[in-house]
Structure 1
Amino acid sequence: MNWKFLLLPLGLLALPARAQQSKRNERLRYQLDSLDRAYRRYEQRTDAAFARAEADSLLQPVRLPNGNLVGYAGPAIGEVAPDSSDLRLVTAIIRRYGYPGKSLVGPRASQIAWQVLQRTGHTTRFLPQLRVAAAAGELPYPQYAQAVDLQLVQAGKSQRYGTQIMDCLLPNKTTGQVEVLRFLWPVADVPHVNDLRRRAGFTTTLAQEARLLGFSLAPMSLPEAVRLKQAAERGE
């Protein structure tokens, strides 16, 4: 499945967050930058492993020498991503400082923290902190909106901003082949969703996103979307 996505009273949290992020913390910025560099090296090694496996599969049938790929440094396909250690660091930062926004760690490092939460599936866990950061301009509001939508989808409710698309792998009962069904998770207020997106800082309409990502805007009921999601999870 492809997920592209309570609100606490803002006044209770906004002032402490602003106070915490009034001064740049270079140590935290360095930690996040180091984390990002390590993850990029992991991606490079994984890409190289896949490239080597693909090259081997092409070379063997014609009995050519299997030389090493240029720049290949391992690992075997299936190396575990450093998600758990990355998440522990970001979690510790959030618990102490609130979400590390651009004032605290700079724009780039702030995005690294978001990327860790996103790839580990923990954006909704820190939704209150993301809301505070977005309201203070420390995090782009569309990223907070994605987390809001994701939480609604996970709860089986209609999304607000139209950021969540589902890719369901479903067996075709006629052909027996597995097919991909891509659809937009139902939106709560379709007539006004583009205005809501604009006010949240999105630069595209829902129709533009549909053309870009290849999904249909044909209306789907929430019960049907939930049924498809559950069927895909069960492999039916």
Structure 2
Amino acid sequence: MEKYEVIGTLGEGSFGRVYKAKQISDGTFVALKVISKRGRSAKELKGFRRECEIQRDLHHPNIIQMLDSFETENEIVVITEFAHKVLTTVLGKEGYLPEERVQPIVWDLVSALYYLHSNRVLHRDLKPQNILLDLKNRAKLCDFGFARNMSTGTHVLTSIKGTPLYMAPELIDEQPYDYNADLWSLGCIIYELLLGTPPFCTASILHLIRLIRHEQIQWPTFLSENCTSF
């Protein structure tokens, strides 16, 4: 930790905290994810270490780059590149975005997913909170806590992971699933970027499941033909 100067807290979750920090050697900003080992099961710790292993091997301009990781007696610390904005913050301020601003974000996410899936990695938790924007407004995927490697010869997975609002019907129904589950989540994100709300939105989890299973998505007429076709 002596290589970094912590500047402030970026976020806090059930896993631990994320800090903005400065690399003392060159002044570069980085993000520090600090996961407490206390009260964690061996299975949880194994999951955190697997997340590190997956992310360490990913090198793509639209995926947050992992720079380093280490463990102390009480913590697992992951250092990644720093991005300045979270997509949810942008949506919170602006409500929704015009097509010309959504398009480059979607290109970036399609590129990131193509890279992941080509390397047999499923993200499994695509949502606006896991999409960051850098100073050039490039979208970058982060948080590989639910990511999973599919070994050669494995075509489907069955364990449920992810966030219900963006979850594909096959996951809801506990059916086998593959890369298409990530593409469904991407479609939900695109809808939310354009309209300001996810395609299936309700406070009731049972109602949400019914909507995802049975409801057809309605695209408004003000969107271009190219957009709704895509």
Between Structure 1 and Structure 2, the one with more strand by share is 2
Same fold by TM-score, threshold 0.5 exceeded? no
Between Structure 1 and Structure 2, the one with more helix by share is 1
| TM-score (normalizing by structure 2) | 0.26
Using CA pairs under 8 Å that are at least 6 residues apart, name the structure with larger relative contact order, 1 or 2: 1
| TM-score (normalizing by structure 1) | 0.25
Which protein is bigger by CA-based radius of gyration? 1
